[in-house]
Each structure stands twice: as C-alpha cells, then as structure tokens.
C-alpha cells in the first residue's frame, strides 16, 4: 500500500493519478481518500488501519497543524486521525507527503 498525506488542497489525488498513470475515475477504484474522517469515533484504529491497508493507495489529509480546537470532541477526532496516519504509515510500503503539489518520499523508494 502507498500512503499519501499532506495538507488540504495540496494535490494529493492529482499526484496519485500521475503516479498510477490513471484518471480520477479509475482512481476511485484503486484508492481511498479522506480517511482521516473515518478515525473519529472508531472503536479500533488498528482494525481500521488493517482494512484500509488492503487498498493500493490510501490518502489522508493532515489535520494536526494549526490551532488546537477548543471542543473536546474535535480534539479527540484530531488525535484519532493522527494515530490512524501513524498506523497507516507503519503498514505502508511507501509514504509520500505532498505539499504545494510537490511529492516528498518519506518512506520507500520512488518508482
């Protein structure tokens, strides 16, 4: 599995399409994105990470930067999203952070 992460609107899906040599339509069959939203309220992040890691590409938006939310529920959701990203990065063959459309390989070799 390839794990792609980065800020909102940074070009993560466009990079995945370029890397896989496919269009957005085919990407929907090969990848899953916005997985950070699945972490909130999840009973087992380990089980979720295991299920997601069966996909070819998993894409998550970084949510840990910036101002810490005042609402306790939002803080828990943000913490869960960060933990899920750590679990996915550990399972991934390759981890890429996309920032301003530029991929930075954090783990594994570039194709």
Looking at residue 67, its pLDDT comes to 86
- Domain ranges for the chain: 2-107
The pLDDT confidence band at residue 111, using thresholds 50, 70 and 90, is low
For domain 2-107, the CATH class is: alpha beta
Per-residue pLDDT tens over the stretch 87-110: 999 999 999 999 999 999 999 976
> Whose CA is closest to 74, among 60, 64, 85, 84?
64
Q: What is the pLDDT of residues 26-82, one digit of tens each?
A: 999 999 999 999 999 899 999 999 999 999 999 999 998 888 889 999 999 999 999
The predicted structure's pLDDT at residue 74: 92
State pTM to two decimals.
0.93
Q: Residue 110 has what pLDDT?
A: 67
pLDDT for 51 equals: 97
């Amino acid at each position: 599995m390839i794990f792609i992460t980065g800020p909102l609107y940074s070009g993560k899906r466009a990079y995945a399409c370029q890397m896989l040599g496919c269009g957005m339509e085919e990407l929907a069959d090969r990848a899953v994105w916005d997985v950070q939203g699945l972490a909130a309220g999840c009973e087992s992040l380990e089980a979720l990470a295991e299920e997601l890691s069966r996909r070819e590409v998993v894409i998550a938006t970084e949510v840990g930067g910036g101002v810490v939310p005042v609402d306790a529920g939002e803080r828990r959701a943000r913490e869960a999203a960060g933990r899920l990203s750590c679990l996915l990065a550990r399972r991934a063959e390759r981890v890429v952070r996309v920032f301003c459309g530029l991929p930075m390989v954090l783990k594994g070799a570039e194709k």
